[in-house]
Amino acid sequence: AASQVHSTAGMPRRSRRRKSIAIAYESGQGDGAEQGMSEPQRPRWEPRDWQQQLERIREMRRKRDAPVDEMGVEKCYDSSAPPQLIRSQHFAFKEKSKTSVSPPQTPVCGLVCNMHSGMVCFLSCLSLLPMLEGSLDFLPFPLVFQNKVKYIKQTTAILKQKYGGDIPRTVEELVQLPGVGPKMAHLAMNIAWDSVCGIAVDTHVHRITNRLKWVKKETKYPEETRVALEDWLPRDLWREINWLLVGFGQQTCLPVNPRCNECLNQDICPAAKRR
């Protein structure tokens, strides 16, 4: 035993460190040797034919003549007002009646446009309230809009006290305001702050993306749809998709009796094939 110990004493100790293994990469697949090979990434899910469907929807929306194009949130504001007041106007007008009627019948925006024709007005949430409340008696406001006036009034007090009359600049803060959900928060971030941090999903976007199978599985609520879309839709399309699909939903892909025979996607739309 002693001789065995003696015979191994002078031998160099074997290193416990593992030797790096040279990996041979195909052209353009790595930086060379001594790099660990990572597991291949799973291909990202995306809907079938979605790019072709999108291009055809763009073509159908090329004229920009849907109600949202004339009466959308970004259209109703005083362009000569200071930035803070413009943001307040965007935020207040986003709660307008969600109808698809012609401009003269849309209460808030029609009222504001009439004011523009007579005078230059610097509207903020603070100056908007008396005008709206005083108009309820003689303008054809739907009942749902009266609740929105109440939300605007509550929100105005919060904005004045907490944000100096401006609006919050994060989705987390916006959704804490009365009557403001994720869709409105993302829309306000987009329009008022020029910041795209999510997709604004309303009933049109929710309905159409489910019909086109732009979600892995059918979603029941717009917020579910938003999460599903943001998982695969390229971020540079997030700003466009709301405006694009809302107008498409107002003119062609209607909630009831959609005009599939007029739609350029009728041959590649899963919903159209079932009709």
Residue 238 CA to residue 138 CA, distance in Å, equals: 39
Active site residue 183: yes
CB 135 within 8 A of CB 111: yes
Rounded (10°) angle between helices 222-230 and 203-211: 60
Q: Give which of 238, 198, 209, 215 is closest to 46, Cα–Cα.
A: 215
- The answer to whether 91 and 129 have CB atoms below 8 angstroms apart is no
What CA–CA distance (Å, rounded) separates 100 from 68?
8
Q: Which of 160, 183, 213, 217 is catalytic?
A: 183
Which tokens sit at 264?
């350029």
The residues that are catalytic are: 183
